Amino acid sequence: MTQAEFTAALLDPARPAPEGLSSPGGGAPGKRFDVYRNNVVVSLMEALAAGFPAVAALMGGRFKPMSAAYARAHPPDSPLMTRYGRRMPEFLADEPELSDLARLELALRDSYHAPDAPALDPAGLTELPPDELMKVRLATAPATRVLRSRWPVASLWTRALRGGSEAPDRGEAVLVTRPGFDPEPHVLPPGAATFILALEDATLSDAVVRAEGTAPDFDLTATLALMLRTGALTDMTETT
């Protein structure tokens, strides 16, 4: 018997236990092999429940069978269980709201394990004269993530895990930040997602131009205040 045969039987409950295994009394391994089957699938289901608590809360009783099916279809491809579940958004593609919520939960998990970085001191930014301020390049923290959804994902996440009001009937752009060790999702005002993503390769003024291109009412002050307050910025460089 090879480990390939053992693996195939572990992941497919319809297959018999592999040849060459036995019980001490000489009987078929049956339930003894099922212990391994159960360990594998249940441990993966538990990892998914821990990794996608909001999806689990919204799905209720449907989460268990879904996660068992996911575990059998997509066992981990690495021993780092902290990374398990990357394909959940596509697995849930038929339920786009849940699919995007899974995307948010992956972003929160990535943020949790991202490198530490000291936050930018707001004084450095607020003390610059406006014309110099607009020329700076801002660096976002490694634990920062931006995602956009046609669904109110951040509101759904909050409601699923912390209760509260009904999610609004509109899409949300979300900024994930990690001020200390616990990532938090923040709903972004219009244009802010474009602005934050533009910081990657643009000066502050160019990022504002791009943001205003998508949302004429883009509010720079509010967006920078949110980013400074949540540790989303780590560094600034003045350009000439």
Partner 1 sequence: MLDAAPHSFDRLPDAPGVGYKARHFTGLTEDPGPVAWLEVHAENYMGEGGRPLAQLRHLAALFPVSAHGVGLSIGGETPLDREHLARLRRLCDWLKPASFSEHLAWSTHGSAFLNDLLPLPYTPDTLSRVADHVSELQDALGRRMLLENPSTYLAFDESTMSETDFLFQVTRRTGCGLLLDVNNVFVSATNLGTDPRGYLKDFPLELVGELHLGGHDEDEDGHGAPLLIDSHGREVADPVWALYSEVIAEAGPLPTLIEWDNQVPDWPTLRSEAERAAAALAFA
Residues that bind partner 1 (CB under 8 A): 1-4, 6-7, 10-11, 20-25, 27-33, 35-36, 39-40, 43-44, 47, 75-82, 112-117, 142-143, 178, 181-182
- In whole angstroms, the minimum distance from the beta carbon of 152 to partner 1 comes to 27
Our CB check for partner 1 shows the closer of 1 and 225 to be 1
Q: How far is the CB of 69 from partner 1 (least distance, A)?
A: 16
Shortest Å distance, C-beta 111 to partner 1: 8
**Separation between Cα atoms, residue 46 and residue 227, nearest integer Å:** 34
Tokens of 152: 């109110």
Q: Which is nearer to partner 1, 32 or 135 (CB)?
A: 32
Q: What is the phi/psi pair of residue 193, to 5°?
A: -65, -45
Residues 6+ apart with CB under 8 A from 106: 51, 85, 86, 88, 89
Closest CA to 216 of 191, 193, 198, 189: 191
Whether 142 contacts 117, CB under 8 Å: yes
Shortest Cβ 113–partner 1 spacing (Å): 3
**Cβ atoms < 10 Å from Cβ of 208:** 19
Residue 109 or 186: the one with the smaller Cβ distance to partner 1 is: 109
Of 18, 239, 26, which is closest to residue 136 (Cα–Cα)?
A: 239
Which of 42, 222 has the CB closer to partner 1? 42
Least separation in angstroms between residue 213's CB and partner 1 is 34
